[in-house]
Amino acid sequence: MLLLIALASVLPLLSSAASSSFSACQNPKTQGSRLEGCPPNTLFVSQTDPQSQYGSTNAALATFSSQFILIDAGSYHEVIKITRKGPLTLLGVTQGPGNFKNNLVQIWNSSFVNQTTQTTAQDNADASVLTISPNRNASLVGSGPTGAPFQPEFGSIDFKAYNIDVANRAALAQTGPAAALMVSYANASFYGCTSSSYQDTLYVGRNGSAYFNGGQVKGSTDFIYGFGTAWFEEVSLASRGTGGGLVAWKGSTQWYGPNTFGAYFHKAKIIEADDVVPGVDLTHTRALGRPWNNQSRVIYLDSQMSDIVLPAGFLEWSASDPRVFPNITFFAEYSSSGPGWNASARNTSAETILTEAQASKYSIETVFGEAKPKWIDFDTTV
């Protein structure tokens, strides 16, 4: 498989050899200090360990006393909102940080937005399990970008999470947005983490920049969505059901900064989830994406696609409201592989099959507008 030219300087740092910057800290310990190998002043959260300083993540966050929090193995029923300025890192205890299937920390809730009774005062953000955003107003999904410039009073959030599973356990019957993770007005990166729900699982919104290395995103309807900028590196995209697209994205030519808004997937794996909705046959049903507005941008590079992928690839929003505009909407693939790749069946009126030269223009550096962004941990690969 051909390598992307522009990624040549980055990919060696993202090799298949799994490693974590915090392996020694994350390793479970039964003797000595549980914080051995951790950065100085790391806080320890555990529901059972007598060495723990706090029994919940929220209790540790309330102290504002450290930028590192180690979370012990366990299931934590919490709603977490990260609003503090500056750097913050959450570390999940695990024996194998290189594989999300080894994760031992689960953070969950079961909230959702009932779209049949939703009021103007309610927003998708109100149902999120983990939100990284300066405040509620900054996190609101609302109607999307309005052309307003970046508001510096929101400050800067630099957030990282390692080997943590975040789940919104709202039942499938409770139809409506039920986000596991939301990022807005922040730089956030995730390593070996998972996000799971059914509808609108993962959101990157206004002035949000997010990077995902390894891990999994699981959902059914439009389960990755937003109008910020998101890069997914070797992430598993697992469908639990049908409906909408895998991705629904917005763009705006009037927004602050360079127009790189979009969802970018490099070496992704599109698969059927291990807990697919009973009785549902996903074969040839999963659209790669659909346009939340006509300036949508979704790009897959070097990705593996199982037979659940819709042969046409991308969809219009709907028959009555297509939202696909020539030279404005941009859906693309490069070097896709697997039974879900069908060059002769792809809807080339909606998407572009990139050449190697065209694909080389998309890299972590070009998408986020700087060489090796400081808020991304290039020493961790999962």
Give the three-class secondary structure for 11: helix
pLDDT in tens, 173-215: 666 899 999 999 999 999 999 999 999 999 999 889 999 999 9
Closest CA to 161 of 130, 202, 200: 130
Closest CA to 190 of 271, 89, 267: 89
Pick among 3.40.718.10, 3.40.50.1370, 3.40.50.970, 2.160.20.10: CATH of 5-115+122-141+152-368: 2.160.20.10
What residues does each domain of the chain span?
A: 5-115+122-141+152-368
In angstroms, the CA 343 to CA 70 distance is: 46
In angstroms, the CA 358 to CA 139 distance is: 34
pLDDT in tens, 112-137: 988 888 888 889 999 999 999 998 88
Instruction: Please provide residue 2's backbone torsions phi and psi, each rounded to the nearest 5 degrees.
Output: -70, 145
Structure tokens at 236: 């598993």
Q: What is the DSSP string of 19-86?
A: B-TTHHHHS--SSS-TTTTSPTT-EEE-SS-TT-SBSSHHHHHTT---SEEEE-SEEEE--EEE--SE
Closest CA to 382 of 97, 21, 104, 161: 97
Please check whether residue 213 is in contact with residue 382, taking contact to mean a CB–CB distance below 8 angstroms: yes
Residue 271, H or E segment: strand 269-272
Handedness of CA 212, 216, 219, 221 (dihedral sign): positive
Q: What is the 3 state secondary structure string of 236-259? A: EEEECCCCCCCEEECCCCCCCCCC
Which pTM was predicted?
0.92
In angstroms, the CA 109 to CA 124 distance is: 14
pLDDT in tens, 23-80: 999 999 999 999 999 999 999 999 999 999 999 999 999 998 889 999 999 999 999 9
In the DSSP assignment, the letter for residue 365 is H
pLDDT confidence of residue 15: 38
Average pLDDT, the chain: 89
The mean per-residue pLDDT over the stretch 69-94 comes to 96
Burial 143-179 (b: 16+ CB within 10 A, else e): eebeeeeeeeebeebbbbbbbbbbbbbbeeebbbbbb
pLDDT confidence of residue 2: 36
Where does the pLDDT of residue 160 fall: very low under 50, low under 70, confident under 90, or very high at 90 and above?
A: very high
Residues listed for the chain = 382
The mean per-residue pLDDT over the stretch 237-245 comes to 94
Please check whether residue 288 is in contact with residue 239, taking contact to mean a CB–CB distance below 8 angstroms: no
Residues forming a β-bridge with 152: none
